[in-house]
Every structure is written in structure tokens, then in C-alpha cells.
Structure 1
């Protein structure tokens, strides 16, 4: 091989080497920036771990804002307008719409009522059938109202079989304690207080007797869920980290939660006795359709009850409005 040929080969090798280096060191495409997440909720301490996650920076890689909107109608409007892209609600509140499908897709269960909501009955009421034609009070859109509807449904009854009184929950409790109602849907602490005042009365049933019925989920905008599932995953991860922090740093966590809801630490601890925060493992179980109690079964049951009582005229399949794809991302 002559000298010129050798030089030519070396030049080619050098050029290819430099080109390969430039290609290999070319900056990788940046990860798409996630949109800001704005989660709306009513003022309810069951959502308190979200405030721990926010305070402690557990929503890593996503900007999360927590917003209080006290009317579910306003929450729905904000969801449809794009002012928010997530919100917290129970199955019944989420599905209590008419003519328009509920907005959002559920991907995370955050809390469950375990006795905080129930139905109080007079001494002479020994079965739900005994309430037929009698005055019964409750507030639509609140968990005790759903508990009442559930109990009626189990016996083949609806609100039409009662002399139903649409009353604010506190008024329903006062009216029951005064003997003006045969039964009332009430939440704690008014539930126990009303029964204590009225001689012979009792808590006929509470959410503790109906596992899975009264749960709060977070619902995400469906386009957000489709285009940015990693944002939903980061919200769920932040929530689960908050639960771990609450378990290991009780004093600091409860102070954060108490401050967020304007109550004392003792009041927050008292509230927690009737509510459970749902762990990662419990979420996995509840999003498993083979579980005896699962979100899909409860979702469909609640919609059926609401439809029978005229609270909705549209029931979509649970599989179309809930997703297990996010919880499956966690080992």
C-alpha cells in the first residue's frame, strides 16, 4: 500500500470517528414538561394527606395546586372549562348528573368512611320497611344520604316510599333528636349526639357496616390521563409518600393537616377515627376486579341506586370512567 492510500484511509477513519462521536454525544431529547395539576375539593379533612404531600414536596416532578371549591356544581363547571384538571369526589357525588356524563376518570382512592356517616332511627323502627310512609330527613349530595338510599335499595324501596324531607344535615340531626323524624341520615359528630339525646333511638347502620360504599377518589381530566399518565402517577406517588410520612412523623403531619383545615390537632385526630386513608396496597386490591369489594362493582351499584331515586339519568359503565392503569405502575 502506497503512502497516499494509507493517508486517505486514515482521513476516512478520523472523519467517521468524529462523526460517530458527535452523534453519540448529541443531547438526548428532553422529557416533555408535565402540565400543572390543579386538584379541586370541598373542605373535608379526608383529603388532608394531599396537603402533607404538598407541604413536604412529595409531588416530585409535577407542579400541584390544591384548590377549595365548595359547590360540586362549580367543581364540574371548572373541570369542563379547564380551570382545574383533577378533583376529589365520592362515587355518588361524581355520578349525580343529568343528561351530561360526569367529567373525568377515576384513578386513585384517597379515603373511606368507616362509621362517620349513618342513619339514626327511632326506638320503634326495627327494620327499614318500618320507615315506609314516615318522615325521614337527609341532605342530598352527602354520604349519609347515600347510606340511606343504599339501605332502602336493599329492601326494594326508594325515597318515594318515604315522606322524605330534604334538610341540611345539621337540621336533620336536630329534628331527629327532637322527635320530629322517624329517621335521619347524619354524619359525625351529630350522628352520635342525636342518638344520645333521643331516648331509645339508635344508629341503625353506618358506613362501617357497608365496606367500600363511601370512598373518595381523585378524578382526572380524560385528555390529561391519556396524554400525561405520568402526571397521574406522580400525584398518586406523592399521596402514598404522604401516608408513609403521617405514619412515621405523626406530630408534624397532624399539625400540617390541622393547619390546612383550620382545626386543632386533637380535632383532626378525632376526625380520623371515622375515616381511613387508603394505602397503595389497598388501592391495588380495590382496583382489582376480582376482589370481593372493588371500585368497579361499587361504582355500578351506586349509579343504579342513584338512577332509581332520580338523582341521575345516565349510567356509564365503570370500566369507561375508572382506570387501573395508574395503580398498576406501582410495584
Structure 2
């Protein structure tokens, strides 16, 4: 699908340049690891003209690991996804870097239990969670909190939409789900319950359940001006959405092919957050998490905590058995783009309306 979209765009761009006698815009290839409102900001930047001189080509993968492979190979330049892959990228030497924390889950991610399943009887049963993704991380954190050994359950590698059927048919004791899949299960499976969600204070404070902005390392090194412009454009789009939330949500609905109500059930209608959904960091909050700007970011995570967040994720991957050792988190982070924008005087602080 990516090749077809890119080929079509390149052909169209060439025809436009030829007919207008103008220089073609610089193409930036952006990946969304799944169809998700929080990942759509660069598409808004493209549609609202917030990235002048660039043509942003957005591709939805609905395959987080496949998207990471495309980013490492240079097929895409920027990738919006969850931050839990960062330690794996370091271990595998992909050259991919995490340039900013974009938005934490603010209660949209849940662990849902089948009827009759409790912390006391879940051992030995099958649980659904996508491998090397936020779902497996949250499931591991929850199992840890109820003192259930990670190897005492059978892990089944399923994305949230893939887990709905097995939950309804009784093949899974528990699953990682987010909206709209939570509602579909709870409404159609009497007795199913939510055991934990990422809006709980103790989960928020870890900072580990967060979406991030990844960039290909060569893109940052060799097309640095474009990398800076794209990072700024992404936050400019957040600002535009804050001021034009109703229109912005409709743009996301059209782009993602989601019902508008489903978009609003994730990202809200106040231009900043939805409790039970996600919380959109503004530029200043994200810069604080990088340690590029003074001040305290939300939820008690701490200024300059981005590497600590990645290390905590890495420690869980080792315990779950996905990795064998804790990597140097600094090798997977590049906050220099944020620092350069701060030094240039860029600032953005947004409030809910």
C-alpha cells in the first residue's frame, strides 16, 4: 500500500511541477502505526497548510512492527506510535530515534476481564495483548501489580480489534483494549469488567504509556531542516486543533474513516484532553519532558524524564522476556530538535476550552 501511495503522489507532484513551472514541494513520508486520532496531527498540518514547502504523505500501517521496519529502512521519515518500541530499536541498532513524547494515554487503554475472571484465578489462562506494543506493556504492569508471574499466563499476540471476537467467544480470560473496542466488549459480554486503565494516577506517573514521535536517524542527520520543520508543524497542528476542535475532529474522522463520535471518544472536544481518552501535550510540556525547557510537565513525571521512561519500559521488557538486558536509553533519544526549537524562541502552551 505504501509503494502505491508514494508512486501516485510522485507522479502527481511531477505533473503539477511541470504544468506550473514551479519547484515541487519536498516530500515527507509519515507513518501512523495504527488508525488513531493522536497520530493524525501531521495530516492536519498538510490539509491546513501548516507545513509550507512540504508535501506530507501519510500512510496508516495498522501494523506497529511493520511500520517500525519501514522507518528503519528509510521508507518513511517520521513514525507516530507508542514509545514502548524504543528499547527494542536501541537493541537492534535500527538508527531510529525518539524525538519527542507526543501524548500519554489518559485512561483510553484498559485491561478487560472476561466474566468470572479475577486476579485470583487468572493464572493458567489465555490473555490477549499485542507483542512489543503498549498492550503487552500495560498487561505486564497490571499482572505485576496483582503479583501474578508473567510466565503463569498464556500470552496471545492480538491487537485490540483482533481480541474482541475471542473475548466475546470466551477464548480469552483478559485482553488489552481501547475504545471503541472496550465499549463493544462491555456492551455485549455481560459480566465483563475493567481491571485497570491508564488514567489511574499510579499509571500516569510512570510516563510509560505514551505515544511518541520517531524519526529515521538519517532523516534527522541529512535533512535536519526538514526534521525541524516537521516537528514544529506537528505542534502547530496541535495548536490549530486546539483552536478549531470541531473542524479538526471532523478532519480526523474523514482521514481515519472513523465515525466522528469515535474520534471524540478518544481525543475529546475541549482541544486538550479527554479523561478516559488521551491527553495532548503542547510543545512546552513535551520540551519539558525532554529537558529542553524549564518547568514541570503534567502528572508528576518530571522534567527531563524521557530517558527514565524508556529505561522503565526496557526493564519491563526484560522481565516479560521480550529483551535480555537493559540498554542505554540515550542511544534511542534525540532531544536536540526540541532544544533547537526552544533556542530559536518557539513556545506553545495550550489550555482546554
Alignment TM-score > 0.5, same fold: yes
Q: How many Å separate the matches in 1 of 2:148 and 2:172? A: 18
Q: By how many angstroms is 1:238 displaced?
A: 0.8
Give 1:107's aligned residue.
99
User: What TM-score comes out, normalization by structure 1 length?
Assistant: 0.77
Picking from 271, 278, 295, the partner of 1:275 is 278
Give 1:24's aligned residue.
none
1:323 and 2:323 correspond:
no
For 1:169-318, list aligned pairs within 5 A.
169-209=160-200, 210-211=203-204, 212-273=207-268, 274-288=277-291, 292-293=300-301, 294-313=305-324, 315-318=326-329
Give 2:18's aligned residue.
none
Give 1:18's aligned residue.
none
Q: By how many angstroms is 1:296 displaced?
A: 1.6
Structure 1: 4+ residue segments shifted above 6 A: none
Q: Bigger CA drift: 136-145 or 204-213? A: 136-145
Q: Bigger CA drift: 272-281 or 117-126? A: 117-126
CA, structure 1 residues 99+218, in 2 after alignment: closer, same or farther (shift >3 Å)? Answer: closer
**1:50-105: per-residue Cα shift (whole Å, max 9, x none)?**
11111112124555332333434443443343322222221223444696234311
Q: How many Å separate the matches in 1 of 2:189 and 2:63? A: 32
Q: 2:126·2:172 contact (CA, 8 Å) conserved in 1?
A: yes
Q: By how many angstroms is 1:119 displaced?
A: 0.6
Q: How many Å separate the matches in 1 of 2:199 and 2:146? A: 19
Q: Bigger CA drift: 226-235 or 241-250? A: 226-235
Q: Bigger CA drift: 62-71 or 93-102? A: 93-102
Indicate the SS of the match to 1:223: helix
* RMSD, aligned α-carbons: 3.1
Give 1:91's aligned residue.
83
Q: By how many angstroms is 1:141 displaced?
A: 4.5
Q: 1:296·1:318 contact (CA, 8 Å) conserved in 2?
A: yes
Q: How many Å separate the matches in 2 of 1:140 and 1:80? A: 18
**1:279-330: per-residue Cα shift (whole Å, max 9, x none)?**
1122023223986423222211112212222323464322221122222222
Give 1:26's aligned residue.
none
Count residues in correspondence: 298
Q: 1:97·1:313 contact (CA, 8 Å) conserved in 2?
A: no
Q: 1:99·1:313 contact (CA, 8 Å) conserved in 2?
A: no
- Name which structure has the greater RCO, CA cutoff 8 Å, separation 6+: 1
Q: How many Å separate the matches in 2 of 1:82 and 1:137? A: 31
User: What TM-score comes out, normalization by structure 2 length?
Assistant: 0.73
**1:90-135: per-residue Cα shift (whole Å, max 9, x none)?**
12234446962343111122332222211122565554x6533233
Q: Which segments of 5 or more consecutive residues in structure 1 lack a partner in the other structure?
A: 1-33
Indicate the SS of the match to 2:330: helix
Indicate the SS of the match to 1:208: coil
Q: 2:44·2:248 contact (CA, 8 Å) conserved in 1?
A: yes
Give 2:36's aligned residue.
44
**1:182-221: per-residue Cα shift (whole Å, max 9, x none)?**
3222222222342344444421111212223222212122
CA, structure 1 residues 72+201, in 2 after alignment: closer, same or farther (shift >3 Å)? Answer: closer
Q: By how many angstroms is 1:177 displaced?
A: 4.2
